[in-house]
Structure 1
Amino acid sequence: MNTSNSENKLIEGEDFYFTAEGYKCFTEKYHLKRGYCCKSGCRHCPYGFDKKTGQLKPKK
């Protein structure tokens, strides 16, 4: 079932932007709104995930 409501819609420039190569890149604001780290090594990860070590960086 495909349910769509305005709470789940992404806003370009706020939740994501397109890179020069045409890829969708999620912003830090989007990641915080989502509420968890997907451990994919995202460019704007606010959770501090390090793809090289596979671990979250310790909070200061």
Structure 2
Amino acid sequence: MDHPPESSVRLRDGWISTPHPTRLAADDVRATEILERHRAAVDANLPTYADPLSGFSVFTAAFLARRGYCCESGCRHCPFVV
């Protein structure tokens, strides 16, 4: 897959604290716990946290932003304008 040059990458407003709007609804029963886990992982400089329902690893917005491109996999915390 070709990745856009860094100069063309744009971050969403509020990307570090707000999940991608189509990937976690504000009224999701797990939203508070998800946001708490995400914030703790970002504060600890960890690339992932465990999803409270599935146990799967979820990338943090900080990790994805440092990576520098959208992989188009539908990441919950995708920081990019897609």
TM-score class, shorter-chain normalisation, is 0.5 to 0.7
SS at match of 1:46: coil
In the TM superposition, residue 15 of structure 1 has moved relative to its aligned partner by: 1.4
1:24 and 1:36 map into 2 onto residues whose CA distance is: 19
Structure 1 alignment gaps of length 5 or more: 1-12, 49-55
> TM-score, normalised to structure 2's length?
0.42
Same amino acid, percent of matched pairs: 43
More helix by share: 2
SS at match of 1:17: strand
Counterpart position of 2:60: 27
Q: How many residue pairs get matched?
A: 38
Structure 2 alignment gaps of length 5 or more: 1-40
Letter in 1 for 2:72: K
> TM-score, normalised to structure 1's length?
0.56
Higher-RCO chain (CA-CA 8 Å, sequence separation at least 6):
2
More strand by share: 1
Q: Over the residues paired in the alignment, what is the CA RMSD in angstroms? A: 1.7
**Misfit runs of 4+, over 6 Å:** none
Q: Matches of residues 1-60 of structure 1 in structure 2 within 5 Å?
A: 13=41, 14-20=46-52, 21-48=54-81, 56=82
